[in-house]
Amino acid sequence: MRLCALALVVSAAAAFSLRPPRRPGVSVRARPAVTFYEEVSVPAPRPGPPTQEITAVDLTPFLRDAVAASGLVDGAVNVISKHTTTGVTINEWESRLVRDVRAWLRGVAPPDDRSAAGVAGAGVRYLHNDIASRPDSAAERARCRENGWDVDDPAALAAWRAQEPINAHSHLAAMLLGSSETIPVVAGAVVLGQWQSCMLVDLDGPRDRKVGIQALGFGAA
C-alpha cells in the first residue's frame, strides 16, 4: 500500500512537472523525474553458520548511498527485504536495544522445540515445521518447482526437505516487524529523526542478506 501511494504521488507530480506558476518573461524548467532501483547485499554482522540468531544491521548508510547515486533531490526512498525471515524497521540503533528486541520477539514467537534455537520439552510446535508433511498442496509444489526443486522426484524431495530450516518462529516475528519502510528525501537528504536508523533485523541468522532500494521523486532543476 505504501509503495502504491508513493507511486501515485510521483505520477501526479510528474503530470504537473512540478512547474511553479508562470510569470511573463520568465523561463521555467521542469525538474527531471528520478526512478532508481538497486539490490544491495548486506553482509552478516558476524560469521555463520546460521544458528537462528536475531541480529540487526543499520541500513541507513546504504539508503544514503542509493539516494546520492540516484541524483534524487526531493521524493522518497523505499527499502524492502528480499527474505521472509527478516524485518525492516525504524528505531534506535543501539546494541542493548537490539538485545531487548531479541528477547521480546522470542517471547512473542518462541522457537519450535525442534529448531536450532528451541528448548526441548518446552511444548512449542508449529505446523510450518512439519517438514515431512510438506509440500502438502499444489500451490506449494508449484513454488518448489519454480525455485528449482523437482519435488515429484523422490531424491529431489528428500533433498528439499533436508535443507528446509525449522524456522516458523522467524517467519512470525518477521510479520510483526514488516518487510519495508519508506522514508522522505528532502534537499537530497534522507529524513530521519536524531536517534532514528533504518535497520534490517535478521530473525534466522546470521546470514548474508539482500535488500531492494528504490528512490523515486525529482532531481535538481
List per-block mean pLDDT (blocks of 10 residues) for the chain, which spans 221 residues.
49 46 57 97 91 95 98 98 98 95 96 95 97 96 96 96 96 98 98 98 96 98 90
Fold of 2-16+34-111+168-218: Jelly Rolls (2.60.120)
Instruction: At 62, list the grid cell.
Output: 546504504
Domain boundaries, the chain: 2-16+34-111+168-218
Bridge partners, 76 (sequence order): 184, 216
Q: What is the pLDDT of residue 21?
A: 47
Give residue for cell 554482522.
45
User: Of 201, 218, 209, 192, which Cα lies nearest the Cα of 61?
Assistant: 192
Q: What is the pLDDT of residue 12?
A: 45
Q: What is the pLDDT of residue 7?
A: 52
3-state secondary structure of 214: strand
Q: What is the pLDDT of residue 83?
A: 98
* Distance separating alpha carbons of residues 216 and 75, to the nearest angstrom: 6
DSSP 89-138: EEE---HHHHHHHHHHHHHHSPPPTTSTT--TTS----GGG-GGG---SH
* Distance separating alpha carbons of residues 119 and 132, to the nearest angstrom: 21
